[in-house]
A and B are shown apart, each in its own frame.
Chain A
Amino acid sequence: KAGVTQTPRYLIKTRGQQVTLSCSPISGHRSVSWYQQTPGQGLQFLFEYFSETQRNKGNFPGRFSGRQFSNSRSEMNVSTLELGDSALYLCASSGQTGGGIYGYTFGSGTRLTVV
Chain B
Amino acid sequence: GDSVTQMEGPVTLSEEAFLTINCTYTATGYPSLFWYVQYPGEGLQLLLKATKADDKGSNKGFEATYRKETTSFHLEKGSVQVSDSAVYFCALLPSSGSARQLTFGSGTQLTVLP
Interface residues of A (CB under 8 A from B): 4, 6, 33, 35, 42-43, 45, 48, 55-56, 58, 88, 90, 92, 97-99, 101-109
Contacts and interface: CB of A to CB of B under 8 A. Distances in A.
A42 B98 contact: no
Interface string B73-99: 000000000000000010101000111
B43 A43 contact: no
B34 A103 contact: yes
B106 interface: yes
A4 B42 CA distance: 12
A55 B104 contact: no
B32 A103 contact: yes
Contacts of B62: none
Given A103-B46, A103-B93, A106-B43, A33 B32 contact: no
Interface residues of B, number: 24
Contact of A106 (B45, B49, B107): B45
Given A42-B107, A102-B49, A103-B93, A108 B43 contact: yes
A105 B97 contact: no
A76 to B, nearest CB: 15
Contact of B43 (A45, A58, A90, A102): A90
A101 B102 contact: no
B102 A103 contact: yes
Residue among B32, B44, B98 having the largest count of chain A Cβ atoms under 10 Å = B44
A42 B101 contact: no
Contacts of B105: 42
Contact of A101 (B42, B44, B45, B51): B51
Nearest to B30: A101
Given A42-B107, A99-B93, A99-B102, A90 B44 contact: yes
A55 B99 contact: yes
A42 B87 CA distance: 12
B60 interface: no
Given A98-B97, A98-B101, 17 more contacts: A6-B43, A33-B102, A42-B106, A42-B107, A43-B102, A45-B103, A97-B98, A98-B100, A99-B102, A101-B51, A102-B49, A102-B51, A103-B93, A104-B46, A104-B102, A105-B46, A106-B36
